[in-house]
Amino acid sequence: MAERRDRITIIYDILSAIAAKSGRIKPTHLLYKSNLSHISMKKYIEELKGKKLIDEEHVKEHLFYKLTDEGIKFLNDYKKIREFTESFGL
């Protein structure tokens, strides 16, 4: 059975999904990539917007979530921490 993701891993997965799409993604695509329910995703999106890790962008009638500079910094720092802990087998 697969392990449940913790909160920080879910945040990393959301931000990584946005980064993988050139820094902006449509909500539906993010929903599929993050593997969350609609309600859960909305809660995370609101939290990430509040912490200035992502922002909303409207292009014509379409909504996109966009990675901010703070979001990019979080991703880079998280990757370093993950590499560090994995180097010790944790």
What is the pTM (predicted TM-score) of this model?
Answer: 0.91
H or E element: which one contains 56?
strand 54-59
- For 25-54, the pLDDT digits (tens) are 999 999 999 999 999 999 999 999 999 999
Closest CA to 53 of 64, 61, 62, 45: 45
Thinking of the domain 7-85, which architecture would CATH place it in? Answer: Orthogonal Bundle (1.10)
Structural domain spans, the chain? 7-85
What integer pLDDT is reported at residue 90 of this predicted model? 80
CA distances for 7 relative to 39, 61, 63, 90, angstroms: 15, 31, 25, 18
